[in-house]
Amino acid sequence: MGNTLTDAIDLLKKMSEKEVVIALEKIRGIKAECEKDERPSKSTCPHCKSEAVVRNGHKRNKQAYICRKCRKSFVETTKTAMFNSHSGEAVWKQVIKDTVDGVPIDDTADNLGLHHETVFNMRHKILFCLEQEEKNNPTLLDGICEADETYILENYKGKKLPENFWRGPRKHGAKAKKPGLSNEYICVCAGVERDGDAISVAVNRSVASKEDINEVFGDRVSEKTVIVTDGAKGYGVLEEAGKCMIVKAGDGNKGLYNINTVNNYHSFIKEREREARGYATKYLNRYNSLFSKVYRADKTVVDDIYALLCDMDNRSHTNIESQTKDLLRI
């Protein structure tokens, strides 16, 4: 999806009052025609999964339905991530697109005429939904894959540090207090298929242990998976357990066994982090789920994420839950 909504808003801003009135009347007419369609847009009941669903008026400007089997009523967004939201599909898709593209929250809010906090809440519902989906249905790595770690400087963005904290607040772009690799860095384990999916998960401070590597990759590989690494001994735990085959970069066919693809994924993560001036460490795995989803993704990714948000499989969470539940604590 392009910037359809923001383009429409910009065009309306350039119109005369008379032209805006005419455009508004036409938009209302189009919406009314769409609402006359007798076919329900929701074909199953979110409570009992029955398909005996019929329209049942409106509730708070949303189409309401009733299930003839369990007799429970619901609206279009019941049990979805957009439950209780006042924004429609076009707004949500634009926020998703800006999230995918790394557009700052303030820019999205200005373009859509929304409050900063509204867009912040919407973005974090999107991120939380992506993270929960990755936890419930881990991405499977198949064929020849590459794995390596990258390191992100810890970040307490948006939080006021206590007076007795072990270090002072950093300015954007500041470096770690200690030289080299230290516990100020968060280790992110990443794995990438040569021509397919990618995953990244923050696991620990400093280096990743065998347990960390097994936690990230153990359920995401199979006997048919070949993982190319830089030779770190920790990955041997996967081969020892018979979960996959491990190959050291440079062994055998040097043109085949390299880790250039995963290094490119690392660069993608680091670039997005620089553009955002860092992500709060507690939300890092939320963003890792986003990066895994959008890296090398095609133009359907916005629609795919929107469909995930519309899934009535208990995706509904309050703003507080989406910003405080299952945070990264390391």
CATH of the domain at 169: 3.30.420.10
Expressed as residue numbers, the domain containing 279 is 139-298
Please give the tally of structural domains in the chain.
Answer: 2
Mark whether 166 and 245 lie in a shared domain.
yes
Mark whether 69 and 143 lie in a shared domain.
no
Within a domain: 269 = yes
Interior/surface letters 300-324, b for 16+ CB within 10 angstroms, e for the rest: ebbeebbebbbebeebbbebeebbe
Please give the average per-residue pLDDT across 227-237, as a whole number.
88
84-136 confidence digits (pLDDT tens): 888 888 899 999 999 999 999 999 999 898 999 999 999 999 999 999 999 99
Please give the average per-residue pLDDT across 145-172, as a whole number.
85
More confident residue, 308 or 207: 308
Mark whether 52 and 195 lie in a shared domain.
no
Asked whether residue 83 carries a pLDDT value surpassing 50, the answer given is yes
Q: Which helix (H) or strand (E) holds 245?
A: strand 245-248
Mark whether 262 and 147 lie in a shared domain.
yes
Integer angstrom CA distances of residue 237 from 102, 217, 245, 291 = 36, 10, 10, 26
Q: What is the pTM of this model?
A: 0.84
Within a domain: 68 = yes
Closest C-alpha to 122, from 112, 135, 133 = 112
Within a domain: 322 = no
Residue 166: band (very low, low, confident or very high) from pLDDT cuts 50, 70, 90: confident
Q: Which helix (H) or strand (E) holds 53?
A: strand 53-59
248-273 confidence digits (pLDDT tens): 887 665 567 889 999 999 999 999 99
